[in-house]
């Protein structure tokens, strides 16, 4: 008898996983943006910093839409759905590393590339664990939203210091460990659909037809 397996379906993440992921993304946004701001004076010239400050003075609707909506959607489609998906054929670990590297290099300046490495790791891990692009897109949008608020909303000077960045980094690492410990082997595709009685009968009928055809073919041979 030919056995036909039920189709795999996506089992959506539970609330605990989603909340932990959201907290981790927010932590990472604070770590990345405050760390970039803290290290900018150590890496770039005063002239470049003045130009950067002037460009961030008055964000337009177009810029906000691009940063918060357009960029996350297009980048997740390109680097996660397409690049990671295609490269998974040669190995998921290689796909993870290569897609993250290309994602980071697309962010221009040295500090932003460094920050984007961790973002690429986080977003790719979310996609690899859930197998659904909507979760990595949501995480990316949340990150860019928080990062935009950090850039355009004034904060006390101490929050732009290196020691504050190190404190946030410690919080991010703690959140990352907690996120991983939720279920390191989680696979949201393991659940199979429950077949209805009609579907079961249809599959059994198909199996009988296939067996009959194969038996007739073998007898003729």
| Region 150-165 average pLDDT | 74
Q: Which of 181, 216, 178, 157 is nearest to 23 (CA)?
A: 178
**What pLDDT score does 46 carry?**
57
Torsion (CA) 91, 188, 178, 31 in degrees, nearest 10: 70
Give the mean pLDDT of the chain.
Answer: 76
| Region 47-68 average pLDDT | 67
Residue 192 sits at φ, ψ, to 5 deg, of -110, 150
**What pLDDT score does 70 carry?**
93
Identify whether the C-beta of residue 172 lies closer than 8 Å to the C-beta of residue 180.
no
| Region 164-171 average pLDDT | 80
Top-confidence residue, 194 or 177: 177
Buried b (16+ CB within 10 A) or exposed e, 29-50: bbbbbbbbbbbbeeeeeeeeee
Cβ neighbours of residue 104 closer than 8 Å, sequence gap 6 or more? 113, 114, 116, 117, 119, 120
CA-CA distance, 210 to 160, in Å (whole number)? 69
Residue 74 has pLDDT above 90, yes or no: yes
pLDDT band, residue 62 (cuts 50/70/90): confident
Which sequence spans correspond to the domains of the chain?
15-182
pTM of the predicted model as reported, rounded to 2 decimal places: 0.71
CA-CA distance, 123 to 125, in Å (whole number)? 5
Residue 71 has pLDDT above 80, yes or no: yes
Identify whether the C-beta of residue 4 lies closer than 8 Å to the C-beta of residue 209.
no
**What pLDDT score does 7 carry?**
45
**What pLDDT score does 136 carry?**
93
| Region 177-197 average pLDDT | 61
How does pLDDT run across 3-16, given as a tens digit for each residue? 334 444 556 777 77
For a pLDDT cut of 90, what percent of the chain falls above it? 16
Top-confidence residue, 152 or 94: 94
3 state SS of 3: coil
Query: For 87, how many CA atoms within 13 A lie in the half-sphere containing its CB?
Result: 20
**What pLDDT score does 149 carry?**
82
């Amino acid at each position: 008898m030919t056995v036909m397996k039920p189709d795999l379906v996506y089992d959506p993440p539970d609330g605990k996983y989603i909340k932990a992921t959201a907290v981790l993304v927010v932590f990472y946004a604070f770590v990345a943006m405050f760390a970039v701001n803290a290290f900018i004076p150590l890496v770039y010239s005063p002239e470049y910093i003045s130009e950067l400050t002037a460009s961030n003075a008055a964000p337009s609707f177009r810029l906000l839409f691009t940063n918060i909506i357009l960029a996350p959607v297009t980048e997740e489609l390109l680097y996660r759905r397409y690049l990671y998906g295609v490269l998974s054929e040669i190995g998921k670990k290689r796909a993870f590393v290569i897609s993250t590297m290309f994602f980071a290099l697309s962010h221009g300046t040295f500090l932003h590339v460094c920050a984007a490495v961790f973002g690429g790791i986080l977003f790719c891990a979310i996609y690899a664990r859930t197998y659904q692009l909507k979760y990595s897109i949501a995480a990316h949008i949340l990150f860019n939203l928080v990062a935009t608020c950090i850039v355009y909303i004034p904060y006390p000077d101490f929050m732009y210091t290196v020691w504050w960045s190190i404190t946030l980094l410690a919080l991010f690492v703690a959140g990352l460990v907690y996120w991983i410990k939720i279920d390191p082997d989680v696979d949201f595709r393991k659940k199979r659909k429950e077949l209805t009685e009609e579907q079961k009968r249809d599959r059994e009928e198909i199996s009988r037809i296939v067996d009959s055809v194969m038996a007739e073919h073998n007898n003729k041979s």
